[in-house]
Amino acid sequence: MRRLDQRPARIDAPTLVGADIEVPLVSGGVRRYVNLDYAASTAALTEVADAVDAFLPWYSSVHRGAGFKSQVATAAYEGAREAVREFFHARSTDVVVFVRNTTDATNLLASALPEGTQVLAFEIEHHANMLPWRRPSLQVTYLRAPDSPGRALDELEAALRGSSGADRLVAITGASNVTGEVWPIRDAATLAHRYGARVLLDGAQLAAHYPINLQDLGVDFLAVSAHKMYAPFGVGALVGPADLLSGGTPYLRGGGAVDFVTLDSVLWSSLPERQEAGSPNVVGAVAMGTACRSLARYGMDRLAAEELELAAYARRRLAALPGVELYALWDGGMPRLGILAFNVRGYWHSQVAAILSAEYGIGVRHGCFCAHPLMLHLLHVDDDEAVHIRHEIEAGNKGRVPGAVRASFGIGTTRDDVEYLCRALEAIVTDGPRWAYRLDPASGEYSPDPETRQWPALPVALSAVLVGRGESS
């Protein structure tokens, strides 16, 4: 039997479930699906799917079951917690709380902050690191979108110097989910601590693409989603000091979070159970822990270097295409993940995405990527125009909501995929689409007219209606 402290051998390139899947084209025939939508959600690592399949026969309730399966499930659940702790190099005093996703993690932290806490966040943040702070008990200040990492630190220091109060939190992204820029996290954490503030790192985009060492970076809290880490089974984690999370009333109240209950009193459990009420997502936790171990064995430094190189190449290729406009907050020279937001002259973003899917079998995302203030900034949409857009949406017309197309990379993305995307965009600019498309104003989506592609035969219920405009975190 392998000892718990023994590290498994390094692995070669990780593989993904469905990496070679073929999708239908609107003109007939099929081709290999080119997935350039990793920033929204990822496929499962083969190792993760294998681990889930192996665990499912042993699935049972955790923590209080005397049965052997329950004991195995509990060991697997707590083993996953330790895998997450080790992957992010958490401090020995940190707690790892399993949640649903990054959004759930930030809402949990927001609910635990002392009343009157001042939260500082940049206006470029994903909604998951923006909306949870908008509650009566907190005071939130949004800092302007900076045009360089240095300006970001200057803006942050000015805000910290001008703020007051005993409780302050800096909520900062690790990497933009729109432009891919990697933020100066360590410097921001050092600055925040100098002024007595704590730091939450939104690691949703960074976690599967770049090494995160909590002890080295110096951030206090980390929020992540497993569905962006090649373990799409509905779980995430909040990692950080126990003091804020161990006081007051838990974020979610119910069974599993208590030691004793009467009709007029509750004795809450200690962490992490205190913040994990209800039956936990044991399968999701096992999947996340497996993903952490697999990515660690491959090497996050190695993974980051490969993606940074591919991202730089892709930016050069897209920037050279006539009619294609790339968006960025900062000039080149800074580390960027494989995330590229762009528009094609003469086409609406949703139309480009529909053409790439229907005619070329390329999956991208389009819209505002749950980062509306950032997109309005990048697209130079002023306040008056933003008000007009809101009125149009309220009237049921989403057909002209501004946005962009986003191609995002991950494990399995190759130069050939980048070249295929560039050739498709070049053909759209030069020759136009080869099929007709119609706009549904109610959803803002373009679709082929006629639509000839058929859903695959799956043993699940499939709706005839495509829905959804944002992306989860």
Alpha carbon distance 343, 324 (integer Å)? 6
Alpha carbon distance 253, 289 (integer Å)? 25
Alpha carbon distance 222, 168 (integer Å)? 16
Instruction: Give me the chain's average pLDDT, please.
Output: 94
Could you tell me if 64 and 37 lie in one domain?
Answer: no
Give 109 or 469, the one with higher predicted confidence: 109
Residue 55 has pLDDT above 60, yes or no: yes
pLDDT over 90 for what percent of the chain?
A: 91
Could you tell me if 280 and 325 lie in one domain?
Answer: no
Residue 466 banded pLDDT, cuts 50, 70, 90: low
Residue 213 sits in a domain whose CATH number is 3.40.640.10
Domain that holds residue 185: 49-297
Residue 354 sits in a domain whose CATH number is 3.90.1150.10
361: left (phi over 0), alpha (psi -120 to 50) or beta: left
CB contact set of 263 (below 8 Å; sequence gap of 6+): none
Could you tell me if 263 and 290 lie in one domain?
Answer: yes
Query: Over the stretch 312-363, which tens digit does the pLDDT of each residue have?
Result: 999 999 999 999 999 999 987 789 999 999 999 999 999 999 999 999 999 9
Residue 6 has pLDDT above 50, yes or no: no
> What's this model's pTM, rounded to 2 decimal places?
0.94
Residue 226 has pLDDT above 80, yes or no: yes
Alpha carbon distance 218, 220 (integer Å)? 6
Of the candidates 234, 286, 291, the residue with the CA atom closest to the CA atom of residue 100: 234
> What integer pLDDT is reported at residue 334 of this predicted model?
83
Handedness of CA 82, 88, 91, 97 (dihedral sign): negative
Alpha carbon distance 369, 371 (integer Å)? 5
Alpha carbon distance 395, 344 (integer Å)? 27
Annotate 300-337 with DSSP letters as a single string: HHHHHHHHHHHHHHHHHHHHTSTTEEEE-SS-TTS-B-
Could you tell me if 26 and 95 lie in one domain?
Answer: no
DSSP code for 67: S
Could you tell me if 312 and 325 lie in one domain?
Answer: yes
Dihedral Cα 15, 16, 20, 22, nearest 10 deg: -170
Alpha carbon distance 213, 90 (integer Å)? 7
Could you tell me if 277 and 247 lie in one domain?
Answer: yes
At residue 272, the 3 state secondary structure works out as coil
- List beta partners, residue 238: 97, 223
Determine contact, residues 300/293, Cβ cutoff 8 Å: no
Alpha carbon distance 106, 23 (integer Å)? 36
Determine contact, residues 350/22, Cβ cutoff 8 Å: no
**Does 147 map to a domain?**
yes
Could you tell me if 171 and 280 lie in one domain?
Answer: yes
Could you tell me if 138 and 243 lie in one domain?
Answer: yes
**Does 173 map to a domain?**
yes
Residue 451's Cβ-side half-sphere holds a number of Cα atoms within 13 Å equal to 13
Alpha carbon distance 207, 218 (integer Å)? 16
Query: Over the stretch 420-435, which tens digit does the pLDDT of each residue have?
Result: 999 999 999 999 999 9
| Cis geometry, peptide bond prior to residue 450 (ω within 30 degrees of 0) | yes
Could you tell me if 283 and 365 lie in one domain?
Answer: no
Could you tell me if 221 and 283 lie in one domain?
Answer: yes
Determine contact, residues 246/112, Cβ cutoff 8 Å: no
Query: Over the stretch 379-421, which tens digit does the pLDDT of each residue have?
Result: 999 999 999 999 999 999 999 899 999 999 999 999 999 999 9
Query: Over the stretch 296-311, which tens digit does the pLDDT of each residue have?
Result: 999 999 999 999 999 9
Residue 12 has pLDDT above 80, yes or no: no
- List beta partners, residue 199: 170
Whether 370 is catalytic is yes
Distances (CA, A) of 308 to 208, 303, 311, 313, 334: 13, 9, 5, 9, 10
Could you tell me if 31 and 155 lie in one domain?
Answer: no
**Does 379 map to a domain?**
yes
Q: Which of 292, 368, 370, 422 is catalytic?
A: 370
